Amino acid sequence: MNPFLAKFVSSPSLSPPAAAGSVDPTPAIAAAQWRRRAAQWLNQCAATLCGFGLLLAAWQLVSMNIAGIPGPAPTFRSAAVLFADPFYDKGPNDMGIGWNILASLGRVAAGFALAAAVGIPAGFLIGRFKPLDAICAPVISLLRPVSPLAWLPLGLLLFKAANPAAIWAIFICSIWPLIINTADGVRRVPQDYMNVARVLNLPESTVFARILLPAALPHMLTGVRLSIGTAWLVIVAAEMLTGGTGIGFWLWDEWNNLNVQHILVAIFVIGAVGLALDAALGALARHLDYKGE
């Protein structure tokens, strides 16, 4: 039913009067819904704890059978020491893990912002105009499978510095999901909507704001989540090659020091940050989808 009609029909003025002596079922329904949500949350928590328990058991088993792999307990103690003072600064080659995480996030943000500024408008244009789609599709198909790290030497050649080269690699790896998903969302706009816009002689700005953008928004947000995930994967490898600061460089430096406990801590930190980024973007997508209903 149309949301406006549903709201109109459900208004109190049109609802039939309650029978004398009847009991309002609303509190009982709300309580049942709360119990169901609580049960679902508890089941999810139990499944999560079970999964992490299996991971820790497998980790402990591996550490007992392979020399040099520390178990969970010493690794967690090492992590506690690291995060007791994550923002100390004793020079460019001796900084806390917090500064390294922030440096990596800063590069990811800069590269992704550039990719979004270019990729989202390009996706709208490619999806909107078929001749442009025909021109760009072969180029995108050719360049998209190239590993982002293959672009890193070109970035070093162009910018003569490690930090811009790493941002360049993030830009390249982030732009393709944004273009492809945005263009796909624009293509999926029902043709009837476009026919109505043509009959009404709507300006292109109105077509974009009232038709294309709301329809393409879910696909665009999917592209954003894919781009951020890929960018976070690439920045670790890029920092290993370029050096400086960042969680990737920190991990490689710990390998050179043969500190395996810190390497395992870095792996979990990288995973936790990636999970947090994806969860934040997923919450944003659900919020915007709710607002659009």
**Structure pTM?**
0.78
Q: Is residue 9 in some structural domain?
A: no
103/163 same-domain check:
yes
59/142 same-domain check:
no
What integer pLDDT is reported at residue 200 of this predicted model?
82
40/102 same-domain check:
no
192/252 same-domain check:
yes
Q: Is residue 16 in some structural domain?
A: no
108/219 same-domain check:
yes
Q: Is residue 19 in some structural domain?
A: no
Number of domains in the chain: 2
148/49 same-domain check:
no
CA distances from 99 to 28, 93, 95, 115, 191 (A): 51, 11, 7, 24, 50
Q: Is residue 21 in some structural domain?
A: no
- Our measurement of the distance from residue 22's CA atom to the centroid of its chain's CA atoms, rounded to an integer in Å, reads 50
Which residues neighbour 43 within 8 Å (Cβ) at sequence distance 6 or greater? none
What integer pLDDT is reported at residue 23 of this predicted model?
54
What integer pLDDT is reported at residue 204 of this predicted model?
79
267/217 same-domain check:
yes
- CATH number of the domain residue 167 falls in: 1.10.3720.10
SS (H, E, C) the chain: CCHHHHHHHCCHHHCCCCCCCCCCCHHHHHHHHHHHHHHHHHHHHHHHHHHHHHHHHHHHHHHHHCCCCCCHHHHHHHHHHHHHCCCCECCCCCECHHHHHHHHHHHHHHHHHHHHHHHHHHHHHHHHCHHHHHHHHHHHHHHCCCCHHHHHHHHHHHHCCHHHHHHHHHHHHHHHHHHHHHHHHHHCCCHHHHHHHHHCCCCHHHHHHHHHHHHHHHHHHHHHHHHHHHHHHHHHHHHHHHCCCCHHHHHHHHHHCCCHHHHHHHHHHHHHHHHHHHHHHHHHHHHHHHHHC
What integer pLDDT is reported at residue 214 of this predicted model?
84
Q: Is residue 194 in some structural domain?
A: yes
Q: Is residue 1 in some structural domain?
A: no
Neighbours of 143 (CB within 10 A): 12
Q: Is residue 273 in some structural domain?
A: yes
- List the pLDDT tens digit at each of the 293 positions of the chain: 434 334 434 444 444 454 555 555 677 777 778 888 888 888 889 998 999 999 999 999 998 888 888 999 999 999 999 899 888 888 777 788 999 999 999 999 999 999 999 999 999 999 888 899 999 999 999 998 888 888 989 988 989 888 899 999 999 989 999 999 999 988 888 888 788 888 888 887 888 888 888 888 888 888 898 999 889 988 888 888 887 788 988 998 888 888 899 999 999 999 999 999 988 888 887 777 655 44
128/179 same-domain check:
yes
135/62 same-domain check:
no
267/127 same-domain check:
yes
269/176 same-domain check:
yes
Q: Is residue 79 in some structural domain?
A: no
37/149 same-domain check:
no
| Range(s) of the domain holding residue 45 | 26-69
Query: Which of 178, 114, 169 lies closest to 140 in space, CA to CA?
Result: 178
